[in-house]
Structure 1
């Protein structure tokens, strides 16, 4: 057994009897200063321990979302009809996907960018539209009725069915349709005499002569075949018609059969059911026409992580477009890249990196309007440089993936149909930001160092000050003697 005296011999902190110590005013002042210094340095160390510390590195992109990138968008085009609006993607590896519809939705919008109807469904248009090879020009005399702005409403309100071919004489597809349309109109006129039967009439409108009439019905591609129904399709506002578009074959036999099916749809409901099989041919080739001249396009697409393009344009395999009248002005409501990050996860990431997410909405809410003269053939182009940022947060290593981008927009003169183009330049590198956790042992070590260091320095200063005062007093006493 160790005696108490032996145990006391290892005491690091031997005590001096209080009667042998002397308190001084200078020592009290230094003690107060030392205590305040300890408290201040402890607070600074505690703040450092509680604050976030991150490290940033640039590495080759090995992100978890693989080799594809998701693009979400919501863009309004005030002067592009949903009838022909097409979303295309392409890249430097040869990918070229046209008119994506599976993940894209379209809504007709008015001049204030507000949707004015249900979702516009493009349907599955045929790749090849059938035309007649040759039509005897002599057999088409007295064919389709020529309609103009002066007589259009008269006939549309007079006949239960008014089927109109809006065309342009210079258009290749209009030229191919013209003889078939006139011949079909002549046949229908003979079978359903307007003076006797009066259920249907076929007409045509030259859009180079009656441009206002064509714009009123939102005609942007030639030829456009519209089906107007008397009564039920007349809107109360401005008397405009809600009508249908025909996208089927354009040979004479098909056109005649289509018109007969339309006439067959006029009887009562019981008669319609009896003729259901016959009318299905027409139903598969006609869809509601756009109710406005603008279109809002929203949805998402997946592209490869290589330089490429996201293009929105007017597209059709059987229509022509007047490029001098195309206007691709647009308003970007939303454009983002990658998977959506929940608000809670994003707030955790912002705790580490306050500026994260500051550029993922760089184009949101911006308008790009073509102010040049009509006929300028203007393409609005956006060049986007995209870099991925990954943030690893917390002890559970929660991963936040965010795509940041810079955008440069420009107006480009085009020799072809104007488009809205987003050029995508994806960086092969990514920024990795990691939260560095501070150990509690390191915090305690620093606190002990602060306390011991301040105490020691204060003791040294007190000793120096005390000895200096004593020396001064001795000097003064020596002079008195």
Structure 2
């Protein structure tokens, strides 16, 4: 008796009273609505499960307080009408650091007019070895002598030697002189400097690699000729090429500041410029935003994003008012963007599933009730009309 009393009290606490089965009425419309709601519920559950299994990315903006870091610039640029022997790369920044005629970590590909690769070579410093070159004192190198080539008036001391064409050009650069006729320089003549330029006439060049620079505002550029400083002005020696115009048409295959991370978009990738004037200066002004991407495992990637605006300066044939080339001016943003990948918590997933089940059942119940009572009302009206 006591047990029955306890069970009776528990039944009185039931907040979900049951309807007797005699009052149930199963209909075709109810079955269709139940099936449809089950399908909708399943689709919503699958969508929620995919969101739970996949990570979500949180974005924040913070002030960049880093100091003294380095910036890696990865590039891949193709010049279809500028030979590899002509194009040079320079980099400089507002701290005063300069890298003229950069050759380390650079690869050049000679390409023909159809874009086919002729030769791939790393850009190296110095020239090839030559037999019996001209000595500084005027005679030819003998077997018992040490080679010391003339710098042709650009020596800064009596002991200075220029043993290849590159060293002669470097000595001239330091003096602020232009090497107008390389054929008059023994080293250049024997190394075939002008002959190499003639052999590569009509070819293009694909140059790729990376620059490691200070993380401050600066610029780098691809331009024909050897660069040097003259009266604190950055100039290029174009006389050696004996050309009136240079075609700086180019395609930027890739340009990135730092490592790749998921979701990054580099706006200059695949950009192509076709030159319309005899000489042109292509300028790209880049705003670099430091970025940190942290994946779900806590691994952080220090990288950068950038935006860009473009400008082109042209000049008339035979009048080089501006240095022809492709120039990239970059500035660093003081704001850093952080992307952090996270997983949705299981409790959040469970709450959403319960909301889906409850919401679908509630809506389907309202629809079923509306359809059932509507059918019943229509049937009743039809019966009244039949007997009237």
What TM-score comes out, normalization by structure 1 length? Answer: 0.51
Partner-residue secondary structure (3-state), 1:10: helix
- C-alpha offsets along residues 311-335 of structure 1, whole Å, 9 cap, x if unaligned? 1221156995349724151323523
Runs of 5+ unmatched residues, structure 1: 134-172, 174-219, 228-244, 249-261, 263-282, 350-355, 474-481
The number of residues matched between the two structures is 314
Q: Which structure has the larger Rg?
A: 1
Structure 1 counterpart of 2:181: 223
Structure 1 counterpart of 2:63: 60
Structure 1 counterpart of 2:48: 48
* CA shift in 2, pair 1:62/1:336, >3 Å: farther
Shift of 1:399: 4.4
* CA shift in 2, pair 1:408/1:25, >3 Å: same
Shift of 1:104: 1.8
CA RMSD of aligned residues (A): 4.9
Shift of 1:129: 2.6
Q: Tell me if structure 1 keeps the 8 A contact 2:74–2:256.
A: yes
Q: 2:216 aligns with which of 306, 321, 327?
A: 306
Output the CA distance in 2 between the equivalents of 1:456 and 1:361: 48
Q: Tell me if structure 2 keeps the 8 A contact 1:57–1:432.
A: yes
Runs of 5+ unmatched residues, structure 2: 128-147, 156-171, 173-177, 230-235, 381-388
Shift of 1:5: 5.0
Output the CA distance in 1 between the equivalents of 2:25 and 2:122: 92
Output the CA distance in 1 between the equivalents of 2:356 and 2:214: 55
Partner-residue secondary structure (3-state), 2:10: coil
Partner-residue secondary structure (3-state), 1:75: strand
Alignment of 1:391-406 (within 5 A): 391-394=293-296, 396-399=297-300, 401=303, 403-406=305-308
- C-alpha offsets along residues 240-260 of structure 1, whole Å, 9 cap, x if unaligned? xxxxx7249xxxxxxxxxxxx
Structure 1 counterpart of 2:277: 372
Partner-residue secondary structure (3-state), 1:325: coil
What TM-score comes out, normalization by structure 2 length? Answer: 0.60
Q: Tell me if structure 2 keeps the 8 A contact 1:331–1:366.
A: yes
Shift of 1:340: 4.4
Alignment of 1:198-213 (within 5 A): none
Q: Tell me if structure 1 keeps the 8 A contact 2:101–2:227.
A: no
For the pair 1:73 / 2:79, whether they are aligned, the reply is no
Structure 1 counterpart of 2:288: 386
For the pair 1:129 / 2:151, whether they are aligned, the reply is yes
Q: Tell me if structure 2 keeps the 8 A contact 1:328–1:420.
A: no
Q: Tell me if structure 2 keeps the 8 A contact 1:379–1:411.
A: yes
* CA shift in 2, pair 1:62/1:10, >3 Å: farther
Alignment of 1:246-257 (within 5 A): 246-247=187-188
Q: Tell me if structure 1 keeps the 8 A contact 2:88–2:101.
A: yes
